Amino acid sequence: MNSFFIRRYVIAGIFITIILLLVAKLFYIQIIDDHYRLYATKNVLRPVKQYPARGPILDRNGKILVQNEAFYDIMVTPKEVKPFDTTEFCKLLGITKAEFDDRFKKAIKYSPSLPSIFEKQLSAETFASLQERLSEFQGFFPTTRYLRTYPDSTAAQFLGYIGEVTDRDIKRSGGRYQPGDYIGVSGVEKAYEDVLRGQVGVKYTVVNSHGKMMGSYENGMYDTVARPGERLTSSLDMRIQKLGEELMKGKVGSIVAIEPSTGEILAFVSSPTYDPNLLVGRERGNNAAKMYKDPYDPLLIRPIQAYYPPGSSFKPLNALIALQDGLITPQTSYYCTGAYKGGLPHCDEPHGESDLARAIAVSCNTYFSSVFEKLMNVNGPRNIDTTFVEWRKKVSRFSFGERLGIDLPNEGKGFMPTAALYNKTFGVNHWRSNSILSLAIGQGELEATPLQMANIECTIANHGFYYRPHLIKAIGDKSVIKDEYTQRNYVGIDAQYFEPVINGMQQVVESGTARSSQIPGIVMCGKTGTAQNPHGKNHSIFVAFAPRDNPKIAIAVIVENGGQGAWYAAPIASYLVEKYLTDTIKRPMDEFNRIKNANLMPDPTFYYSQIKKEAARDSIRKAKADSLRKKPAMKSVSTKKAKNNTIAYVAPQTVRRKYGE
């Protein structure tokens, strides 16, 4: 025993007292206070997810590219469904009794006591008539959803589309997404998902044992309001985007336009394109499946995923490198007999004696083959491999063969051959400049994306540097100013060497290969290109910037199977430039219409584009496959979805606000 043993009673007393206090409180909560019981035994809390409106995307002038429209899902909790007039219900919903039974069975199978979707995406009209009667059908309740709507049906590949989250998305997000949420799958929707998606809210409603909604739980004290996504202002200019898409109808190809002084993307056209409204809503599955099977691949984002040999548009680059290296001067001239030594490459006609500017203007292959040979042999013909490596580095500074880092997913790198490749193809020391001469005229293994080509024009317009191309101007009301977009990327060519090249490019438009695409009153500098196509007609390419002084727009246009650069690409570019700079087209419309209506679609059975980047396509394929996991819509519908133009941007509390038109 211990002298303090009396304290055992104190300690025991403390234990007993405290336990009694707990019992007292329990007594209060369980026996005396009714408040909790009311909420639990008879009533059940139903958390109803509040889906926020996704952020709209605008063009640089505030025009709406994509916004939201309200749709309604009908949910059902089978356990809480009481007998009702099924015929009436089916009539209101527009389904047959058999379909009803089928769906109801599925709902029970999912869970008798948890809500599941019974009918998806009713339009506002259908829902309106159903809503008043919904209380007659206990166990059924609505949730609101927002779907994307594209008032002008433009910029489909640029904007991308959204789809339901996959298991992988959910896992990767660490639980931020739940099944049934939507996520951007491609384009701007994917790149700026975090900005656009807002935050899902939850509203707690009290539901009694009959399944009837009794009202808000604790007056909404626990509710969290859905936070709408932020409005995204892109740099796109809808006027020239739409014009570009119009002109590219019936053609396969791409247009990219950039503002040289900022790197902002002004136009981003991929053809063939599609109405983005097709990938929204219940018809999405069907439409996507159709598009996927389309041999012309409308889902391919050609501006950053299609590879083309740049053709003659590559010539100014070689000229600049040669000038910088001191191998030529603007006055350096070569005599063109119509073909280079050995017969290839040849020119359309003998050009005679040309200096740099003229060579650019008439696109003389002889001239540039000579320049290229000079470039390659600067260390002696035997050392071409090391020379090539150096040359390749210089070309890479223009971002050929490298990603530019645009803020869109799945950008292609293009392809720049390496000395190692040639060593493998020809054998070490078994190749000279004439083995790779096609690089002089932008053919051969060299491949670039339209974005890269447009970026070259920015570089030339800026006399030696470019800004990283990007499409974001503002989030909400705040402009986005990021270091990586305001930094100048110098390409290692002194500013002074650009003048003679630009002179040549001006002559291209004034008197050279693109003279039929002149714009009265505007000095446009450009370069035509004709990319060889072994499978069909050549591709028509044109790159340019305008005006010469204080350039506002740099552009690259590729029209597959368009023949010579001057035939289609140059005029299309010139219309876009004219529209952008003067907001109108003053030139005669019959030429415009001829171009617009021209159908250059290649024969689909033979259509094989060696310029598709398979990997990017596969990732799209995978993304599409995931989002198409759901079974397709149960009704067969037309491929055109009726647009509802009366609803503007809808805020979660259904306050209607219209954006400035």
Partner 1 sequence: MANNPQRSFFFNVDWITVIIFLCLCTIGWFNIHSAAFDAHYPSIIDTHTDYGKQFIFIIVAILLGITILLLESRFLVALAPAIYAITTLLLIAVLVVGRNVGGNQAWISLGGGFRLQPSELAKFSTCLLLARYLNGTNVKITELKSFLIAAGIILFPMALIMLQPDAGSTLVFSALILVLYREGLSPYFLILEGLFITLFVLTLKVENHLYVVGALIVLGAIIMFVVKRNKKALSAVFLSTCLCIAFVFSVNFLYNHVLKPHQKVRIDIVLGLTTDLKGKGYNVNQSKIAIGSGKLWGQGYMHGTQTKYSFVPEQSTDFIFCTVGEEWGFAGAVTVLGLYLFLVLRIIRIAERQRATFTRVYAYGVAAVIFFHVVINVGMTIGIVPSIGIPLPFISYGGSSLVSFTLLLFVLIKLDSNRMGIIYA
Q: Which residues bind partner 1 (CB under 8 A)?
A: 1-5, 7-8, 10-12, 14-16, 18-19, 21-23, 25-27, 29-31, 33, 35-37, 39-41, 44-45, 113, 218, 221-224
Q: Decide whether 19 or 344 has the Cβ nearer to partner 1.
A: 19
Side by side, the strands of the sheet bearing 44-50 are 44-50, 201-207, 213-216
Burial class (CB in 10 A: 0-12, 13-18, 19+), 273: buried
Closest by Cα among 349, 326, 323 to 336: 349
Residue 167 CB, shortest distance to partner 1, in Å, is 17
Residue 79 CB, shortest distance to partner 1, in Å, is 11
Q: Decide whether 14 or 128 has the Cβ nearer to partner 1.
A: 14
Residue 464 CB, shortest distance to partner 1, in Å, is 50
Token reading at 132: 């008043």
Q: Decide whether 85 or 218 has the Cβ nearer to partner 1.
A: 218
Residue 580 CB, shortest distance to partner 1, in Å, is 50
Q: Decide whether 23 or 495 has the Cβ nearer to partner 1.
A: 23
Alpha helices (H) along 146-260: 156-159, 167-172, 187-191, 193-196, 238-247
Question: Is residue 319 within 8 Å of 368, Cβ to Cβ?
Answer: yes
Q: Decide whether 1 or 98 has the Cβ nearer to partner 1.
A: 1
Q: Decide whether 224 or 486 has the Cβ nearer to partner 1.
A: 224
Token reading at 586: 């003053």
Token reading at 175: 């639980």
Burial class (CB in 10 A: 0-12, 13-18, 19+), 259: buried
Distance (Å, rounded) from C-alpha 263 to C-alpha 480?
Answer: 13
Q: What number of residues does the chain have?
A: 661
Residue 13 CB, shortest distance to partner 1, in Å, is 11
Q: Decide whether 29 or 289 has the Cβ nearer to partner 1.
A: 29
Distance (Å, rounded) from C-alpha 579 to C-alpha 522?
Answer: 11
Residue 144 CB, shortest distance to partner 1, in Å, is 21
Q: Decide whether 86 or 224 has the Cβ nearer to partner 1.
A: 224
Q: Decide whether 115 or 229 has the Cβ nearer to partner 1.
A: 115
Distance (Å, rounded) from C-alpha 217 to C-alpha 48?
Answer: 11
Q: Decide whether 16 or 615 has the Cβ nearer to partner 1.
A: 16
Question: Is residue 329 within 8 Å of 472, Cβ to Cβ?
Answer: no
Token reading at 54: 């996704």
Cα 110 to chain centroid distance, Å, stands at: 36
Residue 15 CB, shortest distance to partner 1, in Å, is 6
Q: Write out the E strands in 443-576.
A: 465-466, 472-475, 478-479, 489-490, 525-531, 539-546, 553-559
Token reading at 254: 């791409």
Question: Is residue 143 within 8 Å of 131, Cβ to Cβ?
Answer: no
Q: Decide whether 13 or 62 has the Cβ nearer to partner 1.
A: 13
Q: Decide whether 44 or 585 has the Cβ nearer to partner 1.
A: 44
Rg (CA), the chain: 32
Closest by Cα among 168, 347, 240 to 581: 240
Token reading at 287: 């439409």
Residue 39 CB, shortest distance to partner 1, in Å, is 5
Residue type, 366: T
Residue 126 backbone zone (phi > 0: left; psi -120 to 50: alpha; other: beta): alpha
Residue 25 CB, shortest distance to partner 1, in Å, is 5
Residue 29 CB, shortest distance to partner 1, in Å, is 4
Residue 21 CB, shortest distance to partner 1, in Å, is 8
Contacts of 37 (CB under 8 A, 6+ apart): none
Sign of CA dihedral 291, 297, 298, 300: positive
Residue 17 CB, shortest distance to partner 1, in Å, is 11
As beta bridge partners, residue 448 has: 308
Distance (Å, rounded) from C-alpha 70 to C-alpha 202?
Answer: 18
Q: Decide whether 33 or 102 has the Cβ nearer to partner 1.
A: 33
Distance (Å, rounded) from C-alpha 321 to C-alpha 433?
Answer: 16
Residue 173 CB, shortest distance to partner 1, in Å, is 18
